[in-house]
Structure 1
């Protein structure tokens, strides 16, 4: 714990007896309390909590439901993820059809440090409140919002600190120091990349979308553009500070409470506590990062399937290695869209890599290259440098346009379509490497094309670790993420969405359109299931209605996660949709139904 947090904890301790009238151990309850119901804290009790957290308790209000001037200013920022993240009443995803909508909590603690988080946790436990936590707010399952709840909002805890020689707390004797970065719970990946890469000249394995919160991505497993080289983001976790259900601030690592530490590496931290800080291993930075894009149109179904077969072969033989990441997508118009990144290659080398595949395409009149191959390479240190892109490629980024906004905050233009989106349906499946074998590749290609008849199918190569080096595989194996990721050559993602529908926007969900979208996602997923039946799914990008989710997300790791849950949160204070232990609670997290 930082010295400042220790001091804050000391100032808070005299107030804890008032916050914990019932003491740290409370009897198991089968229901949580809602505003206006018997047991909801009185004004005086809320005042005591407010004083304990330095006055940082408030009622969150959506800017879209505020006065005319505030609402007008908010509407101008509707596609700005940094603006959405700066409001405790909003989430980056505005809902999921038939599942949830973005609705603000009853109260919010804007935590500035771990002592604030502990005070909020103790208060929620004592008064039987529904508790949620939000850092980045990108959850597709709505885990960072819940009506009638107390929200712990960690946005202000965004410190980033580099270490040349980090050794974990209470590490076993002889543990070698290593380069690392410590990141506060509210930091986004652009904050981490700016410190580690742009200014520090190293690499940390994180997410592709720069406005995503570091903590949520890492503890959900976590993939980025270059995971094929370094493994999952969770595999780089060296240590975490977490507030557990008993209000204790714990520092956990491989040698200190290792079961809880392991659970945080892919088991979704919000099921076990509230992470306040984490430390991640950093890696040597390659000379270059870059990307390629291309689009190819097939004229008929037979040539479309042949193109899919050849793309899978080319990927297996040439691209399934640590140099390459991101995706190629099979569109419902018989169009192959390639959008991939690379590391450690020059632009010429990247273009030469694709020459055999493009020669195969050009030799066949059934195909038209509708967008010729474009390749861009740059010094790796500039990959997340907003100033570099402003000068050399401004069309590739979008920025935080508010007065006083950080000049470092930018996102890829292609990610802007996800800002505030309302999901109609979503599904993912890890595709095993055996589908690339000569004996199965044609069948796999046929299933992918059949799926694409209903909805676009993206194959995210960096989200499957087949082809990764041994060290990355070993580190990723020692996480809670489903072991299927180790042999998956890609994560297939199928999704459909429309624009934002936050309360106050004056927009309603087009239900017939949403139903069609959800049905087409389901049909595409079913077609793909012919070659990948009961395929495991990535918890952070998956169907809200995922069947047999315990096995789909964690497989053989689930019993160990349950054991950690029983030890550190026996009464189920922390409940998220399809999180560890959530089968004991109602869908809204208010009624205990088992356990």
Structure 2
């Protein structure tokens, strides 16, 4: 797969490809050099402006001004790309999909390249479901729907491998200066910019047709302190992490202390803890105790849209600090470093159980009655400090793994669950359960939370239920669950309350939707669908997800909200669903820090006029 960018551009197809054709994907190879990747015109100098600054399009009866893409007159010329590559230390590279090595030819926006490599193809086939393998790749999307499902592993190398919705080029940033250079280049050249750390994302934010990616995964520094000294009154223990640090790395470092410490993270160990997670809020098994990850943030180092590295904390740039804490991923800047509170780790207990057809003698009505009884205890579970992770699939599959009781013995945890178990027994339901106590929460986390898989393709939605919804309409909620399964989707539930253990005086210190302080259950809905399905099928599936699957949840939970990292970005009134009464303030802050729209992430503050037109390719602003 050794080739120069010059060879990509030698093809006349580079400047003549039609955007409306099947979208194309890109990923990178460390052997690619940057030469000759310019466009067909040099109408604008770096930082200047001209009539070629935008590509103007008409689509579905509306006029748009679009970011520059390969083939446009405003696409940077050869010299500009070479200068950028020199500025970032030779770390600008062309992107090729993870499994392109299984195909004879990769057909990208920058031309064609011969890619078949039997050994690398075997590696891709073996590792494609591995999250960590995909995370280490510079532009891979862990869930493939928003890549157009292009170039999946194949045994037929003559199959077509196109770029899909993958980015075109990326900077594998090694220093903060590299990030700054990438942000300024994207701003001055009016390019679509994607910030990518782990690619751990359901909504396609880590990929984007024709985009330049800044990959921050290499920032792995971790430092710890027992006595934080910063811009706030907090003086306890803290951890400072680089943008590329993942949950399992931070938790391992904290566990090595004596006594061990812990921090709020997501339930998935491979998620990065200093980027999209905190900017979306960051819920996890410790949310009942300490709130969201965003609630524990003490300070950020962030590159803003003007390319300046800034400090954001309670006293320096406090508006930016507030917005970065749950105000939307890739919306206000590139976080390069984050500092969070840490906490003492405690012994913890975990329980697992499941119900299938055999537990109810094949009686589906009884199975649903059992789930209804389980869900009716949501408020009691979170009020007692429990975290509950569960799944509901077609085929009468209901799994709970785990129920987490931090600082609780097995007996204490089971005492909280016993009323549910008594009710099930009285209903004639048989079931097995297992409860184990671990020396620390860290040990429980590693033992009971299962490793997630990459390579799945699906539309993702979701909703939360307020405590009043559960108390007043549990039957309606269960009907909405049935509706999800009846329409081909399935459910992943997380019972927690974002205000339970956090003092109410601190609730407004982050941009998180205030409704999350009064919820007891957060659902993810997953509707499997191939990313390369026919357009009509995609449109129909999106309508089912938005209007029927999630529509039923919204109707059953009028006091709920949506979580930006795990929800349908195309739902109605997304501004209120994601941020509630905080949205007007977030919009003002976005207009202050990024008035020209350098950063983009679907359905985040200030993106109302932005669309991906021409079948999900060009990123444009409606005129």
Q: TM-score range by the shorter chain?
A: 0.7 to 0.9
Report the Cα distance in structure 2 between the residues aligned to 1:498 and 1:153, rounded to whole angstroms.
28
Q: Is the Cα contact below 8 Å between 1:231 and 1:475 reproduced in 2?
A: no
Decide which of 188, 194, 198 is 2:246's aligned counterpart.
188
Q: Which residue in the other structure is 1:87 paired with? A: 137
Instruction: Pick closer, same or farther for the CA change 1:196–1:289 going to 2, 3 Å.
Output: farther
Q: Which residue in the other structure is 1:206 paired with? A: 265
Mapping 1:504-583, distance limit 5 Å:
509=533, 521=545, 523-533=548-558, 535-583=560-608
- State the shift of 1:219 in Å: 0.8
Report the Cα distance in structure 2 between the residues aligned to 1:63 and 1:414, rounded to whole angstroms.
20
SS of the equivalent of 1:165 reads coil
- State the shift of 1:514 in Å: 7.2
Instruction: Pick closer, same or farther for the CA change 1:529–1:21 going to 2, 3 Å.
Output: closer
SS of the equivalent of 2:516 reads helix
- State the shift of 1:248 in Å: 0.6
Q: Is the Cα contact below 8 Å between 1:136 and 1:186 reproduced in 2?
A: yes
Decide which of 97, 110, 124 is 2:186's aligned counterpart.
124
Q: Which residue in the other structure is 1:359 paired with? A: 422
Give per-residue Cα distances to partners, 1:160-210, cap 9 Å, x unaligned.
Answer: 111222223xx26xx342211111111111111111234461111111111
Q: Is the Cα contact below 8 Å between 1:477 and 1:486 reproduced in 2?
A: no
Q: Is the Cα contact below 8 Å between 1:207 and 1:223 reproduced in 2?
A: yes
Report the Cα distance in structure 1 between the residues aligned to 2:283 and 2:521, rounded to whole angstroms.
12
Stretches of structure 1 that go unaligned for 5 or more consecutive residues are 1-19, 390-395, 397-411, 502-507
Report the Cα distance in structure 2 between the residues aligned to 1:585 and 1:335, rounded to whole angstroms.
40
Report the Cα distance in structure 2 between the residues aligned to 1:569 and 1:285, rounded to whole angstroms.
39
- State the shift of 1:254 in Å: 1.1
Give per-residue Cα distances to partners, 1:62-84, cap 9 Å, x unaligned.
Answer: 24113322222121111211110
- State the shift of 1:476 in Å: 4.1
1:328 aligns with 2:386: no
Q: Which residue in the other structure is 2:435 paired with? A: 375
Give per-residue Cα distances to partners, 1:466-520, cap 9 Å, x unaligned.
Answer: 6x1242x543432212111111111122212368x7xxxxxx6599997897676
Stretches of structure 2 that go unaligned for 5 or more consecutive residues are 1-43, 55-64, 102-115, 151-162
Instruction: Pick closer, same or farther for the CA change 1:226–1:246 going to 2, 3 Å.
Output: same
Instruction: Pick closer, same or farther for the CA change 1:59–1:22 going to 2, 3 Å.
Output: closer
Q: Is the Cα contact below 8 Å between 2:147 and 2:204 reproduced in 1?
A: no
- TM-score when scaled to structure 1? 0.81
Report the Cα distance in structure 1 between the residues aligned to 2:306 and 2:90, rounded to whole angstroms.
23
Report the Cα distance in structure 2 between the residues aligned to 1:356 and 1:413, rounded to whole angstroms.
27
1:266 aligns with 2:299: no
Q: Is the Cα contact below 8 Å between 2:462 and 2:566 reproduced in 1?
A: yes
Report the Cα distance in structure 2 between the residues aligned to 1:303 and 1:38, rounded to whole angstroms.
64
Report the Cα distance in structure 2 between the residues aligned to 1:385 and 1:490, rounded to whole angstroms.
20
- State the shift of 1:448 in Å: 3.9
Report the Cα distance in structure 2 between the residues aligned to 1:95 and 1:343, rounded to whole angstroms.
36
Q: Which residue in the other structure is 1:481 paired with? A: 512
Q: Which residue in the other structure is 1:591 paired with? A: 620
1:341 aligns with 2:404: yes
- State the shift of 1:325 in Å: 0.8
Report the Cα distance in structure 1 between the residues aligned to 2:348 and 2:288, rounded to whole angstroms.
16
SS of the equivalent of 2:619 reads coil
1:233 aligns with 2:293: yes
- State the shift of 1:573 in Å: 0.8
Report the Cα distance in structure 1 between the residues aligned to 2:123 and 2:390, rounded to whole angstroms.
37
Q: Is the Cα contact below 8 Å between 1:234 and 1:476 reproduced in 2?
A: no
Report the Cα distance in structure 1 between the residues aligned to 2:185 and 2:249, rounded to whole angstroms.
31
Aligned Cα RMSD in Å? Answer: 3.1
SS of the equivalent of 2:330 reads helix
Report the Cα distance in structure 1 between the residues aligned to 2:224 and 2:538, rounded to whole angstroms.
45
- State the shift of 1:153 in Å: 0.4
Report the Cα distance in structure 2 between the residues aligned to 1:430 and 1:459, rounded to whole angstroms.
9
SS of the equivalent of 1:415 reads coil
Q: Is the Cα contact below 8 Å between 1:575 and 1:589 reproduced in 2?
A: no
Q: Is the Cα contact below 8 Å between 1:291 and 1:376 reproduced in 2?
A: yes
Q: Is the Cα contact below 8 Å between 1:189 and 1:210 reproduced in 2?
A: yes
Q: Is the Cα contact below 8 Å between 1:237 and 1:279 reproduced in 2?
A: yes
Report the Cα distance in structure 2 between the residues aligned to 1:452 and 1:518, rounded to whole angstroms.
16
